[in-house]
Amino acid sequence: MEPEAKGKDDVVAAGEGQGLGEFDAVIEQFERHLRLERDLSPHTLRAYLGDVSSLFAHMKAAGHDDVSALDVTLLRDWLGDQHQAGRSRATLARRSACARVFTAFCHRRGWLTSDPGLLLGTAKAERRLPKVLDQTEAEAVLSTQGPGDARDLRDRAMLELLYATGMRVGELCGLDVDDVDRDRRTVRVLGKGRKERTVPFGLPALQALDAWCVRGRPLWIREGSGPALFLGVRGGRIDQGTVRRVVHARLAHVEGTPDMGPHGLRHTAATHLLEGGADLRSVQEMLGHASLATTQIYTHVSIERLRAAYRQAHPRA
């Protein structure tokens, strides 16, 4: 973990001999803070660094080349420009959050005399109800018969586990063989912020995992495969892009099924749990949500599905 800098002279010094301007040096140190201290995911890290680069471009266009000039007016102008450019509410909400993290970081480093991010309003991301499969569609997707080769066994096991546990695609890719407890039918998942949780799964997922581990995975193991549970055709740990392609392809085989990726299966698993009587706290723990408010969106999904069924079936709807 890097030592705390004392002032903006330290920022300039950080770029000496490297051809970095002051803004570049600030971004470099902010990147180290996010990666080493906050332990953000690679995706969030890239997004935050892009947001700060956008903010600095706005400051330069306004005639500022020093981070100490950053104030709440500049922040609001930057976000206003983003809004005028047609950025989505979700993007604006993330950039507002990034701005608050960044200004707090600069204030702690002594580069800002006060923290303008504290005066910045919170942009609310639009809460769209996620697309989910109904239980009939989920059964149709998971029961689709394939050729039974190693690829088919792997793909079937991945879909069963995604639907059974509601885990994120990155969590699935990070699984090792020893993370699965066959006797208890649980899997150890390393989630956001490196928080570990244990998630149960059912018999169909266990049977699919056993088939893959016994009849499929041994055919693809290579030197360097390591303990990865799911492998690519070259024997390395499977990547998220491959999993997404598998999910899209499997859904496309079932006529009338909405197109969605692995996150759609996560939404589907949560919705079906609530429809089956699971309580919100249990679903929150299973999904690894830090806030119960994030889990509550699935209650709205269930209510909307109930309303749709009522309108279709009730004679006085």
Decide if 266 is catalytic: yes
Instruction: Round to whole Å and give the CA distance between 199 and 186.
Output: 5
In angstroms, the Cα distances linking 19 to 166, 199, 244, 284 are 46, 49, 40, 47
105-122 in b/e burial notation, b at 16+ Cβ within 10 A? bbbebbbbeebbbeebee
Decide if 197 is catalytic: no
Decide if 168 is catalytic: yes
CA 266, 161, 286, 289 dihedral sign is: negative
Active site residue: 192, 237, 244, 305, which one?
192
Length of the chain as a residue count: 317
Active site residue: 8, 33, 100, 298, which one?
298
Active site residue: 83, 89, 151, 263, which one?
263
Decide if 250 is catalytic: no
Decide if 58 is catalytic: no
DSSP sequence for 28-84: HHHHHIIIIIS---HHHHHHHHHHHHHHHHHHHHTT--SGGG--HHHHHHHHHHHHH
Decide if 263 is catalytic: yes
Judged on CB neighbours under 10 Å (0-12, 13-18, 19+), 155 is buried
Active site residue: 94, 100, 168, 272, which one?
168
Active site residue: 94, 266, 267, 272, which one?
266
Q: Which residue numbers are catalytic?
A: 168, 192, 263, 266, 289, 298
